[in-house]
Structure 1
Amino acid sequence: MTTCSAPRRRRLLLLCLCFTLLLRFHSCAASPRDLRFSVGDIAAVEAVLPSLRQARSTFFEVDRPLHPPRGSSGPCSTLLLSHSFAFTFTKPPVTASYSPPSCLAEDGGGARAVSLAVLEWRADCRGAQYDRIFGVWLGGAELLRGSTAEPRPSGVTWSVSKDVTKYASLLAAGNSTLAVYLGNLIDDTYNGVYNANLTLHLYFRRAARSPTAASAPADRVVPVSRSLPLNDGLWFVVDNTTDVESTRLTVPPNAYRAVLEVYVSSHNFDEFWYMNTPDQNGPFREVTVHLDGDVVGAVWPFPVIYTGGINPLIWRPITSIGSFNLPSYDIELTPFLGKLLDGKEHELGFAVTNAQKSWYVDANLHLWLDPKSSATSGGLIAYDAPKLTGRIVSNSSNGIDGQYDATASRNITATGWVRSSRGNIPTTFTQRLTFVHTNVVSNQGSSQAINQTTEAHTEVTGDGPHSQQLHQSFPLYIFLGGDGSGTSSQKLMRRVALGFDETRAGAAGRPASTLHNEQTAAAEVVLRDDQVVGASWRMPQVYEYGGSDGGCYLRNVSSVGYDVLFDHNEESCAGTRRRRRRRGVARVGGRGRG
């Protein structure tokens, strides 16, 4: 997601993708352009494909389908925005007036009657263009962040359907402004215009039923972002490790629960932060959340690879995990409500450890309000947030080949109480985070292999309906290499294995779930006498979701080149259990990558 210079000679750019990453082991600098192909590179590759399809392609990110609860009515669908994003970089977001759809009022139940809300983004693009980041905000609160598909000359389409039920109170509130920012560039080389439609689909539960305390969305969503007007997205921009971006806000006096939902994405020199070397501030990044100057939570982000990253061929037609719908991360602020309930303004801010230019960060503060009380009260019982621990160890015998290992860990714990009509309830929020990273450089700097795993364990206890445990694991493997250096024939290779594993365990009345989402992709480009003579790529992916409420989903899909070889999916808990048992047997002894 960077702005790159005009294409250079084909051989130079293709070679630099593998062979100029590491001129010196302790001072290598893989710049964003080193990990991207230009339009000329892709055109050269597609020209030698045996059967290049000229028809418009459909790219897709694998995710489970969204279904309303049984007995729901709907959908009630409203087109929120239709726009063509041409030269929009450094220009104001596109805005539209928003009023709650009439079906919200007609139903009579308002936000609490919404059983499912789906925000659908559909877009297409034809021509030459890089992938671009985009964001959608309603009343300043971010609803969706994604990257665009990187198009082909013959055109590409894609869509995103995101569950936005947790924003029901925002959707049902009074008139506000919808803002969409997609920073696109148009010049003599890059002419692709992104045409997008944004639609809201609402489903409603039966009048006699209401959401449980554990599943009810927040009564108010307060944006923690920049305000219009501006010539960018509403996100804060963090450009270095000392930068803290913040805003001031107040909390309603009758709040009894507070959860901060954080959106984050990496760009420019930190787009491929997980490949950064010690002189680039190393490969570790975290987003810290600050309340009146104190660190109250941390986000260790999933390594999203945009559709033009590493090698754009890999992500065609199956795109990287999280690329079209970036994940958000929750920080429980309920233990700190005693401070926030004093009626004064408080500062919420964000920093990025080891940051280089640029990180886009903002958040939404979800608040649950006591309908039986005009004011709640609270206090902080205990708070412990030791400094981050971590180190990088580098070993190289010749200044080129070698290995460096990076580790990091952080623990944060806070306990507080809130007195409301629900009683005097204590809540404890705990985070335990670990990071392990190894980078091996070999073959005189022509090969690089990265193994990395982020583990995040979050626990909320004390408040029965909202108690939960969440464990996430983000394994990442990347190999960059080639063979035949210095000869007339050369092969440039990429390997990427990416995983998103998640286990949720809730209190009584709150469903538990597991998610295993894994991609193992590979691409090769063959050069002979400075010309591209062949290319191949493949992408197998397995997505397994199991829910205690019966909402299970399994999808096993694989593509070679632009063709989908097979695509099996079933919404059966029995199917996911069978697959999980087979996977468990296959992985006895570890999950090494080679």
Structure 2
Amino acid sequence: MLPKGKFSRCLAIAGLALFFTGAAQAAPDNSSPVGTANVTVADPTVPRPPGQPCVVQLFSNDTFDDFNTRPFSYTPPTGCGTHWSKVVLEADFSVTAGVQFDRSATIFLGGVNLFFGTTQEPTSTLAPSWHVERDLTDYSALFRNAGQGQADIGNIVNSQYTGVINGSARLLFYPASVVAPAANVPDAVYPIGSDPVGSTVLLQAGANTMTATLTLPRNVERAYLDVFTQGQSTPDEFWYTCVPNQYQAQTGECGGGNFREAEISIDGQAAGVAPVYPWIFTGGADLFIWKPTPGVQTLNFLPYRVDLTPFAGVLSNGSPHQVTLTLAGVNYYFMATAALLVYEDPHASQVSGQVVSNTLANQAPNPTIGSTLSTDSSGNTTGNVTTNLSRHFVIKGYVNTSHGRVDTTVDQTVSFANTEIFDITATTYDQTSEQLSSVEGVSTSKIGAFVSGQFRQSFRYPLYMQSNQTFTDSAGDSTVVTTIRQGFDEHTALSIDGFPLYAADVHNHHEGSDSIDYSPTYAIISHAGQNSKQDFTFSDSLGGCYRASVSAANDVVTAYSSGKGCPGQHNRVFWFTEPDGSPYQGEGLLGW
């Protein structure tokens, strides 16, 4: 039989395009940013439901000029109820003109991450500012109680590094209404591997795990893990360019290899995989490429969501359980954080169930390494180093609920492929990195023979980076020409018993190049030829459409378009969708 309310939701979702006609959000067409040197991106903001939100300020105009956290107290909003149609984080940051590194930025509440990103680097004459948003509706349970939080942007300010970072953040709560009903959100959110207020966990070789021991409610129906893993400091800031140790001396590259992947386990049993996105800091590779448009998600990371529902019955047995993230391949320094989201059976105080089969448990994350490198008698080195791993796994489990036994199957193929191509002579050092991480997966839930939900997701994270260094004179001056292409591609589709309900596609691509002249001590002499472009597109089966593009050259915006290619040449997305690529899953789709 169908779970209570499932059939009504099926009919409601099937008719959404008709019911919500006029409820779509058209992104505002602001004045053209052409000519500005300030941060300009093509990403969409979070679409909003109708109605006036209640606003809770987390912190306002805080100054980040050291490595101390900035604590704040949180109190739930008044006047908007306790179940909201949408919850959105808005944050604004700036850095004063001067010299400053890019910095990692986080906001936590009650140990749970609300925001994770990096900062834009300033110049001697430019004080950049930027705005970020994150859809936190799935974290609503966290916001129903008062708590303590903190913002953390570790920053050095002295006579050499003079850029001071400032920031403000607030939560917007949109009250439920007839046209924007309360979202069907997880019943509880649990931080993994964090202190009670919240911070990222340092992962490094020999200490590459973070874990939490949790005793969960005894009626968990579904469970998901939102994961962030970000490379920090040399060599893990540029992990995607490294080679296995046996080729380090021959190529002069960082060692440790370039395979990185988060392995999720429950009580020591493999439970899922989270690929690592190759985010690039605004000072990364060539700092001028990212002015004024940073790379994909650089200022505002998106978490990767792992479906742990086959383990719901086990998690509900009343015993403590260890949820662990292990970062395979970490060589020096990664920052990580995660949050467990659980849905509970509202009509049963206790459920039961088991994991039936798990083919991931016998597949270790050991990539295959290959090489065609050769070095001739003159010391010239050419060839490539390849790193490949592809695993298909199926995890099945069931949970006995108040509406019957629900069997869930997570079927995924997770792949990683990296090729490092070298052409090294006495006067040139040319390296090309070509990498693709991908996921093809489907989560299927059945009640008897009836497919009560099927959610398909595919991800592609393409990265291309070429760095050609030519030594231009006997003094040791050199010119480095860098070309980068970076992408985030996502396809999602939801169906019930073979009936398609919703599908969406997100494509976020950035490309750029620049040439820098360096002194023998790698001080920048000059740069030339800077150009970059970001294209962002979203479309869904309800007719939603978002398109934006920004181009830059010589550190200023040269072209910008918004809505071009959408019906009527205007962006139009429904308030309950995720045009930025934020994770959603199954029944939580569209706020129902």
TM-score class, shorter-chain normalisation, is: 0.7 to 0.9
The partner residue of 1:95 within 49, 71, 85 is 71
Q: What amino acid sits opposite 1:254 in the alignment?
A: N
- How far apart are residue 477 of structure 1 and its match? 0.6
Give the whole-Å Cα distance in 1 for the aligned partners of 2:60 and 2:526: 41
- Note the 1:176-575 alignment, pairs <5 A: 176-207=147-178, 210=181, 216-228=184-196, 234-240=199-205, 243-268=208-233, 269-279=235-245, 280-385=255-360, 386-398=363-375, 400-444=381-425, 446-463=429-446, 466-483=453-470, 485-486=472-473, 490-508=478-496, 510-526=501-517, 532-570=525-563, 573-574=566-567
For residue 46 of structure 1, what is the aligned residue in structure 2? none
Structure 2 unaligned segments of length 5 or more: list them.
1-34, 246-254, 572-592
Alignment CA distance shift 1:84-1:191 (3 Å): farther
Give the whole-Å Cα distance in 2 for the aligned partners of 1:339 and 1:474: 33
- How far apart are residue 185 of structure 1 and its match? 1.6
User: In the alignment, is the contact (CA less than 8 A) between 1:61 and 1:320 conserved in 2?
Assistant: no
Q: What amino acid sits opposite 2:374 in the alignment?
A: S
User: In the alignment, is the contact (CA less than 8 A) between 1:263 and 1:362 conserved in 2?
Assistant: yes
Q: What amino acid sits opposite 2:190 in the alignment?
A: V
User: In the alignment, is the contact (CA less than 8 A) between 1:123 and 1:195 conserved in 2?
Assistant: yes
Q: What amino acid sits opposite 2:87 in the alignment?
A: A
Q: Does residue 59 of structure 1 match 2:39?
A: yes
- How far apart are residue 289 of structure 1 and its match? 0.9
Give the whole-Å Cα distance in 1 for the aligned partners of 2:452 and 2:295: 34
- How far apart are residue 124 of structure 1 and its match? 0.9
| SS of corresponding position for 2:288 | helix
**Identical aligned residues as a percent:** 26
User: In the alignment, is the contact (CA less than 8 A) between 2:37 and 2:556 conserved in 1?
Assistant: no
Q: What amino acid sits opposite 1:118 in the alignment?
A: V
- Tell me the alpha carbon deviations over residues 206-233 of structure 1, each in whole angstroms, 9 at most, x when there is no partner: 147635xxx622111111132147xxx6
For residue 124 of structure 1, what is the aligned residue in structure 2? 94
- How far apart are residue 80 of structure 1 and its match? 1.2
User: In the alignment, is the contact (CA less than 8 A) between 1:61 and 1:322 conserved in 2?
Assistant: no
Alignment CA distance shift 1:159-1:354 (3 Å): same
For residue 82 of structure 1, what is the aligned residue in structure 2? 60
For residue 585 of structure 2, what is the aligned residue in structure 1? none
Give the whole-Å Cα distance in 2 for the aligned partners of 1:501 and 1:277: 26
Give the whole-Å Cα distance in 2 for the aligned partners of 1:368 and 1:531: 53
User: In the alignment, is the contact (CA less than 8 A) between 1:59 and 1:316 conserved in 2?
Assistant: yes
| SS of corresponding position for 2:305 | strand
Q: What amino acid sits opposite 1:497 in the alignment?
A: R
| SS of corresponding position for 1:507 | strand
| SS of corresponding position for 1:192 | coil
Give the whole-Å Cα distance in 1 for the aligned partners of 2:42 and 2:501: 25
User: In the alignment, is the contact (CA less than 8 A) between 1:335 and 1:429 conserved in 2?
Assistant: yes
Alignment CA distance shift 1:569-1:148 (3 Å): same
> Once structures 1 and 2 are overlaid, which stretch shifts more, 57-66 or 308-317?
57-66
- Tell me the alpha carbon deviations over residues 289-308 of structure 1, each in whole angstroms, 9 at most, x when there is no partner: 12111221111111100111
- How far apart are residue 320 of structure 1 and its match? 0.6
- Tell me the alpha carbon deviations over residues 228-247 of structure 1, each in whole angstroms, 9 at most, x when there is no partner: 47xxx622211115632212
Q: What amino acid sits opposite 1:450 in the alignment?
A: S
User: In the alignment, is the contact (CA less than 8 A) between 2:514 and 2:530 conserved in 1?
Assistant: yes
Alignment CA distance shift 1:292-1:407 (3 Å): same
Give the whole-Å Cα distance in 1 for the aligned partners of 2:258 and 2:64: 34
- Tell me the alpha carbon deviations over residues 301-335 of structure 1, each in whole angstroms, 9 at most, x when there is no partner: 11100111111111111111011111211111111
For residue 12 of structure 1, what is the aligned residue in structure 2? none
For residue 104 of structure 1, what is the aligned residue in structure 2? 80
- How far apart are residue 412 of structure 1 and its match? 2.9
Give the whole-Å Cα distance in 2 for the aligned partners of 1:359 and 1:443: 30
User: In the alignment, is the contact (CA less than 8 A) between 1:491 and 1:527 conserved in 2?
Assistant: yes
For residue 28 of structure 1, what is the aligned residue in structure 2? none
Give the whole-Å Cα distance in 1 for the aligned partners of 2:505 and 2:174: 25
Give the whole-Å Cα distance in 2 for the aligned partners of 1:115 and 1:287: 32
Q: What amino acid sits opposite 2:438 in the alignment?
A: E
User: In the alignment, is the contact (CA less than 8 A) between 2:459 and 2:489 conserved in 1?
Assistant: yes
Give the whole-Å Cα distance in 2 for the aligned partners of 1:465 and 1:485: 65
Give the whole-Å Cα distance in 1 for the aligned partners of 2:508 and 2:213: 37
Give the whole-Å Cα distance in 2 for the aligned partners of 1:492 and 1:367: 49
Q: Greater helix percent: which structure?
A: 1
Q: What amino acid sits opposite 2:56 in the alignment?
A: T
- How far apart are residue 87 of structure 1 and its match? 4.0
- Tell me the alpha carbon deviations over residues 322-370 of structure 1, each in whole angstroms, 9 at most, x when there is no partner: 1111121111111112221111111111111111121112211111112
Give the whole-Å Cα distance in 2 for the aligned partners of 1:534 and 1:210: 53
- How far apart are residue 507 of structure 1 and its match? 1.8
For residue 52 of structure 1, what is the aligned residue in structure 2? none
Alignment CA distance shift 1:242-1:96 (3 Å): closer
Give the whole-Å Cα distance in 2 for the aligned partners of 1:486 and 1:64: 46
Q: Does residue 168 of structure 1 match 2:140?
A: yes
> Once structures 1 and 2 are overlaid, which stretch shifts more, 138-147 or 381-390?
381-390
User: In the alignment, is the contact (CA less than 8 A) between 1:63 and 1:543 conserved in 2?
Assistant: yes
Alignment CA distance shift 1:88-1:466 (3 Å): farther
User: In the alignment, is the contact (CA less than 8 A) between 1:263 and 1:329 conserved in 2?
Assistant: yes
User: In the alignment, is the contact (CA less than 8 A) between 2:470 and 2:479 conserved in 1?
Assistant: yes
User: In the alignment, is the contact (CA less than 8 A) between 1:86 and 1:192 conserved in 2?
Assistant: no
Q: Does residue 159 of structure 1 match 2:159?
A: no
- How far apart are residue 256 of structure 1 and its match? 0.9
Matched residue pairs, number? 507
User: In the alignment, is the contact (CA less than 8 A) between 1:517 and 1:544 conserved in 2?
Assistant: yes
Alignment CA distance shift 1:538-1:572 (3 Å): closer
User: In the alignment, is the contact (CA less than 8 A) between 2:328 and 2:365 conserved in 1?
Assistant: no
- How far apart are residue 85 of structure 1 and its match? 3.8
Give the whole-Å Cα distance in 2 for the aligned partners of 1:209 and 1:405: 50
- How far apart are residue 153 of structure 1 and its match? 2.7
User: In the alignment, is the contact (CA less than 8 A) between 1:387 and 1:410 conserved in 2?
Assistant: no
For residue 587 of structure 1, what is the aligned residue in structure 2? none
Q: Does residue 136 of structure 1 match 2:107?
A: yes
User: In the alignment, is the contact (CA less than 8 A) between 1:288 and 1:350 conserved in 2?
Assistant: yes
User: With structure 1 as the length reference, what TM-score do the two structures score?
Assistant: 0.80
> Once structures 1 and 2 are overlaid, which stretch shifts more, 379-388 or 234-243?
234-243
- Tell me the alpha carbon deviations over residues 64-119 of structure 1, each in whole angstroms, 9 at most, x when there is no partner: 132224xx211322321125344432x3x3211111111333xxxx22xx222211
Q: What amino acid sits opposite 2:457 in the alignment?
A: L
User: In the alignment, is the contact (CA less than 8 A) between 1:61 and 1:323 conserved in 2?
Assistant: no
Alignment CA distance shift 1:528-1:226 (3 Å): closer
Q: CA RMSD in A?
A: 2.5
Q: What amino acid sits opposite 1:469 in the alignment?
A: R
Structure 1 unaligned segments of length 5 or more: list them.
1-54, 579-594
User: In the alignment, is the contact (CA less than 8 A) between 2:314 and 2:352 conserved in 1?
Assistant: no
Give the whole-Å Cα distance in 2 for the aligned partners of 1:165 and 1:324: 20
